[in-house]
Structure formats: structure tokens, C-alpha cells
């Protein structure tokens, strides 16, 4: 029994240098998975907080690239942190004005915050840069344009108004409901 356990443990040690000390570690960053890839997979799985942490680790490893800014903005968007998402996505579009995902996600944030006209402008930019290849961008642009055309300024006002004269050239507006 002891011999079987020893053989099993020695099989686990294959490939490592034998000795009393722990095996050497890989140099920092070598052999690890890219934080952006991990974050994208976590986003797809609906784990937005974990994805945000992974994107932050990626920022520490790679620096603040347009991919990292856009990913951080997207994670904040999914977490409902619209102000932070807007700031990050605007930084991404300034850093690389031709990065389509950042423009599209910025448009989504603007739609969520009720800035429909600016969202339509942003979606137009994304659609133009993408050459109309991505269906979701086209759908976002169509939705934004439809909302811009149908902006309602409140409920229909059924109140009637009357003017009452109060001296020389001074009038008071009265409502008759």
C-alpha cells in the first residue's frame, strides 16, 4: 500500500526537479492566461463583477489599452454603473477613434441614460466604421433613430389658457382646466 502511494506521488512529480524545496515558479506573466480572454469568458457567463476584476488585472499586466478601457466600460455597463461606463468608453474612443466596440457600447450607455440624440450620432459612427457588417450595431442605430423621431414631450396637455389684462401692457396667463 505504501509502495503504491509512493509510486503515485512520484508520477505527480514527473517533469519537476526533485528535491526538498517547492518547484520553481514561472516568471511573472509567463504561462498565464490573458486577463482580457478570461474577462470575456466571464462576461459571456454573466459573471460581470469577476470579469471586471479580470479586466483590471489585465490593465495591470498590459497597461491601459483601448481594449482594456472598452472591456472595463462594458463590464460597468452590465453592472449598471452607467456613469463609470460612459467615462471609460469615452476614453476608449478618444484613444482609438476607430475602435468599433467602444463606439457601440458608448451608444448603448447613452441610450440607457436617455441621451437618445447623441446615442444615434454615436451609433452612426460605429455603423460607418464597421461598414454595416454587424447586425447588432445596425439594430441599435435603427432603434436610436426611431426613438429620435418619436420623442414625446410629455402627455397631451388638455388645459385651456386665458389672458387677463392687468394694466397697461401687463397680462396674466390663467389656466382653465
Residue 137 lies in a domain: yes
Whichever domain contains 64, its CATH number is 1.25.40.10
Q: How far is 145 from 15, CA to CA, in rounded Å? A: 61
Chain segment 30-84, per-residue pLDDT in tens: 566 788 999 999 999 999 999 999 999 999 988 999 999 999 999 999 999 999 9
Average pLDDT, the chain: 81
User: Is the pTM above the cut of 0.85?
Assistant: no
Residue 10 lies in a domain: no
Q: How far is 156 from 158, CA to CA, in rounded Å? A: 6
**Grid coordinates representing 95?**
484613444
Burial environment of residue 9 by CB neighbours within 10 A (0 to 12, 13 to 18, 19 or more): exposed
Total domains present in the chain: 1
Residue 174 forms beta bridges with which residues? 162
The pLDDT assigned to 105 comes to: 94
Residue 136 forms beta bridges with which residues? none
Amino acid at each position: 500500500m505504501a509502495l503504491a502511494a509512493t509510486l503515485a506521488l512520484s508520477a505527480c512529480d514527473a517533469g519537476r526537479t526533485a528535491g526538498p524545496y517547492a518547484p520553481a515558479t514561472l516568471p511573472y506573466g509567463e504561462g498565464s492566461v490573458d486577463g482580457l480572454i478570461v474577462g470575456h469568458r466571464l462576461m459571456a457567463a454573466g459573471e460581470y463583477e469577476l470579469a471586471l476584476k479580470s479586466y483590471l488585472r489585465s490593465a495591470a499586466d498590459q497597461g491601459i489599452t483601448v481594449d482594456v478601457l472598452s472591456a472595463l466600460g462594458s463590464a460597468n455597463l452590465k453592472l449598471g454603473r452607467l456613469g463609470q461606463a460612459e467615462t471609460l468608453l469615452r476614453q476608449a474612443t478618444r484613444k482609438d477613434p476607430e475602435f468599433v466596440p467602444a463606439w457601440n457600447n458608448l451608444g448603448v450607455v447613452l441610450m440607457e441614460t436617455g441621451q437618445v440624440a447623441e446615442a444615434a450620432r454615436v451609433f452612426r459612427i460605429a455603423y460607418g466604421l464597421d461598414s454595416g457588417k454587424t447586425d447588432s450595431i445596425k439594430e441599435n442605430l435603427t432603434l436610436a433613430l426611431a426613438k429620435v423621431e418619436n420623442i414625446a414631450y410629455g402627455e397631451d396637455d388638455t388645459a385651456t389658457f386665458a389672458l387677463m389684462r392687468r394694466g397697461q401692457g401687463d397680462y396674466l396667463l390663467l389656466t382653465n382646466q
